[in-house]
Structure 1
Amino acid sequence: MPEPDRALSEPRGWARHAPALRHRNFRRYFAGQAVSVLGSWIQTVAMSWVVYRLTGSAALLGLTAFLSQAPQLLISPLAGVWIDRHDRRRMLLAVQGLNMVQALALAGLAFAGALQPWHLVALAAVQGVLNSFDTPLRQSLLANLVADRRDLQSAVALNASVFTAGRFVGPPVAGLLLGLTSEAICFALNALSYLALVAAVLTMDLGDTRQHAARATSMAAALRAGFAFAWATPPIRTVLVSLAILNATASSAIVLMPIFAKEIFLGDASTLGWLLGAAGAGAVSATALLAGHRPLERIARLVWMGWIIGGAGLAGLCLVQRMELALPMMFLLGAGIAMTNVSTNALLQSLTPDTLRGRVISLFAALRFGMDAVGGLFAGLIAHRLGPVATVMIEAVLLVAALIWLAPRLRALRRQVD
């Protein structure tokens, strides 16, 4: 655990709305994370744009999005065991260095004019493997950044707000950079952005960030213990199933936005930036609801609300044909997805003991991003044959059917965590 900050008292004034910012370690992490996430979103948009510019293939667009996230389905649970056994700070620093190498490879190929579709596919797969460690590492480290465990929920929400703010700011910035410069500049800026998080982590006083008890068992036994705890705990089981379904349907629609921007709204990279930025604005608004202290029962209610809001945005998106009408639908879609994802993360962090935190959070990362990738792959393949509008319509129907099935379980969730 981190060393307590001096004179840490009950949050007052602005601190009541974001109590995690009272902690020096978290403030440093928050600043470094903000720069790093902004760079990552700039690269994500640039990569999706260059894939579609070079190939015009919706299927390849879905494949690269799939490879950048799908490895988390298989690798993240194993990474969770490693996270519970080793120094989380050192692991995080090592992963940031490898992330930088991947971004520099993209930048070098783009500057040389040698970037080919197979390069993008291969480097997307490398990014997917690195994400399998990076995401659960960043999430599981949060408990070490706040001395007062009551502020952990706030830390989770603020960490998510950085990601969603990056989604809001990053795509328009990426669109502007792509219009004024090139994809190579976007990739190079992302490589530099990792230095901010590295500097923040190096200046923190975190103490020992290992859980020594996890090393007493084999890798297989430790992995089974994590799965067994998650499945045997009803609220954790419910929110993980909910997470997987929502991200396989609603969240995967995001991968189709380059096609909507170019073919439906007859726009360019800046149009893509505004569509993704609207979703990011909705996500920022949703995460703000969780930045303060809230009882678990209210957090559980937000999981349900996120499904309703996200479903409304997804259904509306397949009915509009004009850019100005699509933006509020993207806002609702982003808000609903973020509300469910962040509420789920906050519940998992609050209900999981420290000795299992890395493994349970790795399941969150695997389902959050892995199912997003699987859904994105199928969305790209379906859009290649039926078009993006029909694909989003299919996703909306599946989401409604899943909501009907999940409704009694989500209602019971509020009682289970009370």
Structure 2
Amino acid sequence: MDVFRSLKSRNFRLFFYGQSVSLIGTWMQKTAVCWLIYRLTDSALLLGVVSFVSLIPSLLLSPYAGSYIDRHNRYRIMMATQVISMIQAGALAGMILLRFYNIPGIIALSLVQGIINAFDVTCRQSLMVEMVENKEDLPNAIALNSTMSNFARIAGPALAGIVLSTFGEDICFVGNFLSYVPVLISLLMMKMTLPEIQPSEHSIWKELKEGWDYISGDKDLSSLLLMLAASSLLVMPFNTLMPIFAKDIFHGTAKTFSWFESAAGLGSILSAVYMAQLKGGKDMVKIMITASLIFGLSLILLSYSGWLPVALFFMMLSGVGMMAQTSAINTYIQTHAVPQMRARAISYYIMAYQGMIPIGSLLTGLMSHLMGPRLTVFFAGLVGIAATVVFVQQRRRLSAGQKEEILSGQLKA
């Protein structure tokens, strides 16, 4: 099928299958951590803190990670990050198995995972170009990678809901630890031929500045990254409050919470399948604008839904918008950034995406504490729509300015 064309590349196929298993384990653990924290503390603020520490390293370390990865063998870095992630998952599983419910300990291990992810996510994204043999299939590979991630977002929480209510938290954490085995096997089976890394004459700090100059000098890239940063800071963190929606607003259990996560994941899959079948040359900016409006509107409608099935429908719609928004920006960056700057450009994408979410999670937890979860989600949707309108207006001004410059040059000639 055309929608799976990038799986013809052996290395990407191995990567895809291995990560599919691992990401289900990751989402099982994420769901279990959120439920465990809220069950033990009843604190919306602590939910925000856990999200904050697991993602804040992406804000602080991603630009450095991009420069570091551009200077080293990406395959070896990815092997190292997966091994360290497995060790971290094992430590967390051991803590839960021993009934050592230490909140600072869970937060500390979440921080460790965040530091690993700052390097791992940037590395995986930049290595995808090398995994796909036919470069025309790269947008398809990016969309399939997103499909895989969002299928895990459905299967992981759904499985976690069953496991949590039947066996308890232990199995979720042990499952995540074991899920790294297929990833490591698939990586070892790969036959990667990477371009030889030439020793750089410049310091990593100078290359950091070069990356910043490149991004800030490209108005299309920088405007998309600013849009993503605004969405990540003020819109996407709404899902931090889903345990509260499930437990307090809809008087549910861990299974109810897993339905919210799975609904968003289902919407994301529908969106990712649409993105995967797109041919080259599609206007990713227009797709991003449409997706952002869908995302914002769905949150406004979700915020005051009084019936669970309706709330789950709008949660699904939020997954459609969020997935298409981030995937369109990711595809644009990977297909437009010059090769020698790709990892650094992707690192700013990770910084704007995952790096801003933790700050937003803290703000969301605080706002929910002050004015309630429903009003907080309503505000997130409103901001999403407002940010999209500002982006469109700014893009029109930029386009008009470029046309004036061209016209002025022609008149002078």
Partner Cα separation in structure 2 for residue 293 and residue 331 of structure 1: 21
Deviation at 1:293, TM superposition (A): 4.8
Partner Cα separation in structure 1 for residue 110 and residue 195 of structure 2: 30
1:134 paired residue number: 120
1:91-132 deviation per Cα after TM superposition (whole angstroms, max 9, x unaligned): 111111111111111111111111211111111111111111
TM-score, reference length from structure 2 = 0.93
2:193 paired residue number: 207
Deviation at 1:84, TM superposition (A): 0.5
- Count of paired positions: 401
Judge conservation of contact 1:46–1:186 (CA < 8 Å) in 2.
Answer: yes
1:135-182 deviation per Cα after TM superposition (whole angstroms, max 9, x unaligned): 111111100101111111111111111111111111111111111112
Kindly indicate whether residue 243 of structure 2 is the aligned counterpart of residue 258 of structure 1: yes
Partner Cα separation in structure 2 for residue 404 and residue 49 of structure 1: 36
1:321 paired residue number: 306
2:109 paired residue number: 123
Judge conservation of contact 1:250–1:333 (CA < 8 Å) in 2.
Answer: no
Partner Cα separation in structure 1 for residue 231 and residue 151 of structure 2: 21
Judge conservation of contact 2:144–2:272 (CA < 8 Å) in 1.
Answer: yes
1:274-311 deviation per Cα after TM superposition (whole angstroms, max 9, x unaligned): 01100000111111122135234432221111111101
Judge conservation of contact 1:136–1:361 (CA < 8 Å) in 2.
Answer: yes
Matching of residues 11-410 of structure 1 within 5 Å: 14=1, 16-208=2-194, 211-212=197-198, 215-409=200-394
Deviation at 1:212, TM superposition (A): 2.6
Deviation at 1:409, TM superposition (A): 3.9
Judge conservation of contact 1:300–1:414 (CA < 8 Å) in 2.
Answer: no
Change (3 A) 1:123 1:413: farther
Partner Cα separation in structure 2 for residue 414 and residue 251 of structure 1: 28
Judge conservation of contact 2:289–2:388 (CA < 8 Å) in 1.
Answer: no
- Where structure 1 has 5 or more consecutive residues not aligned to the other structure, the ranges are 1-13
1:391-417 deviation per Cα after TM superposition (whole angstroms, max 9, x unaligned): 11222232232222112245689999x
- Where structure 2 has 5 or more consecutive residues not aligned to the other structure, the ranges are 403-413
TM-score, reference length from structure 1 = 0.92
Partner Cα separation in structure 2 for residue 368 and residue 289 of structure 1: 21
3-state secondary structure, aligned to 1:212: coil
Partner Cα separation in structure 1 for residue 384 and residue 53 of structure 2: 23
Partner Cα separation in structure 2 for residue 41 and residue 210 of structure 1: 35
Alpha carbon RMSD of aligned pairs, Å?
1.7
